[in-house]
Amino acid sequence: MSIDWIISIVTDNWEMFLRGAWMTLLVAIVGTIFGALIGLLIGVINTIPKPDRGIKRFFLKFINAILAIYVEFFRGTPMIVQAMVIYYGSAQAFDLDLNRTFAAILVVSINTGAYMTEIVRGGIVSVEKGQFEAAQAIGMNHWKTMIHVVLPQVARNILPATGNQFVMNIKDSSVLNVISVTELYFQTKSIAGNNFRYFESFFVACVLYLIMTITISRILRYFEKRLDGPQNYQMMDDLTQIEGKKS
């Protein structure tokens, strides 16, 4: 009977399952955060205004071309292959024995960064042109405009897509078992390899994946609401109230 098997598998192996789930979460969280930072950085670099001529123009074009290749490469190849190439490639080419957890986070970050670059580009495009112009008109340079006016709006715009990427990373990090990262899929495979109850073991993994993805989605939605702030504003009846509020 499957139910009995599931119960005994969980009682015997709960520690391994939890350690696997924790590794999955760690790789997904850190990878998504670094990926988002990579995407934001590249998105901003893409918007640096190019002078009409000169060395700076050439330099910016060169950088942008390299970044475009990076995005194409990592969006155009499967993460499972990227993991193999990065892990074994660095071992072979540079005689570098990467820590497996580090390698996993590296792969997910770089991969997510490529997707986030596109998401950030869309997020910047969706900020009205008038926002840039108003910032320039009060004397803000490109960086101030970006940091104070554009990026906060971009962050809000891309939050749903970033959350989506996070959920995908929780699921897709399972491919990292090919470089023996002890995430949830890898752990489940070991457990099932010992008890030969493949269905029951992976059923438990399924439930754990679902708990993680659903919880994360809910938390992100809550944050989105919080970020939008209250629906109503408070009227100030006199100046003293504001002074009071500010101090």
Partner 1 sequence: MIASKGDKLMKKVIEIQHLSKSFGTHEVLKDIDFSVNKGEVVCVIGSSGSGKSTLLRCINLLETPSGGQIIYQGENILDNKHNINSYRTKLGMVFQSFNLFNNFDVLTNCLVGQTKVLKRSKGEAEKVAMKYLKVVGMDRYVNAKPRQLSGGQKQRVAIARALSMEPDVMLFDEPTSALDPEMVGEVLKVMKELAETGLTMLIVTHEMEFAREVSDRVVFMDKGVIVEEGSPEQIFNNPQNERTKAFLKRTLK
Instruction: Please state the closest distance from residue 243 (CB atom) to partner 1, in A.
Output: 9
Which residue, 129, 137, 141, 113, is CA-closest to 39? 113
Q: Which of 92, 229, 240, 244 binds partner 1 (CB under 8 A)?
A: 229
In the bound state with partner 1, the residue whose beta carbon lies nearer, of 214 and 227, is 227
Compute the residue count for the chain: 247
- The tally of CA atoms less than 13 A away on the side-chain side of residue 149 is 19
d(CA 122, CA 119): 5
Q: How far is the CB of 45 from partner 1 (least distance, A)?
A: 21
**Residue 226 CB partners (closer than 8 Å, separation 6+):** none
Provide the minimum distance between the beta carbon of 233 and partner 1 in the complex, in angstroms, as a whole number.
4
Closest contact distance (angstroms) between CB of 147 and partner 1 is: 9
Which of residues 76 and 139 has its CB atom nearest to partner 1 in the complex?
A: 139
Does the footprint of partner 1 cover residue 75 (CB under 8 A)? no
d(CA 11, CA 195): 13
Least distance (Å) between residue 64 CB and partner 1: 22
Nearest partner of 192 among 5, 67, 23, judged by Cα: 5
Residue placing its CB nearer to partner 1 in the complex, 134 or 206: 134
Q: Does 47 bind partner 1 (CB under 8 A)?
A: no
Distance (Å, whole) CA 180 – CA 101: 9
At residue 75, what is the residue type? R
Nearer to partner 1, 30 or 155 (CB): 155
Between residue 129 and residue 168, which ones bind partner 1 under the rule CB under 8 A?
130-131, 133-141, 144, 148-149, 152-153, 156
| CB-count exposure of residue 211 (10 Å: 0-12, 13-18, 19+) | exposed
Residues 6+ apart with CB under 8 A from 14: none
Comparing CB distances to partner 1, the nearer of 11 and 246 is: 246
Give yes or no for residue 240 binding partner 1 (CB under 8 A): no
- The 8-class DSSP code of residue 236 comes to P
Angle at 16 between CA 14 and CA 21, to 5 degrees: 95
Please identify, using beta-carbon distances, which residue of 142 and 189 lies nearer to partner 1. 142
- Write out the binding residues for partner 1, residues 100-129 only, by CB under 8 A: 128
Determine if 226 is a binding residue for partner 1 (CB under 8 A): no
- Shortest Å, Cβ 228 to partner 1: 9
Binding residues for partner 1 (CB under 8 A) = 128, 130-131, 133-141, 144, 148-149, 152-153, 156, 229, 232-237, 239, 242, 246
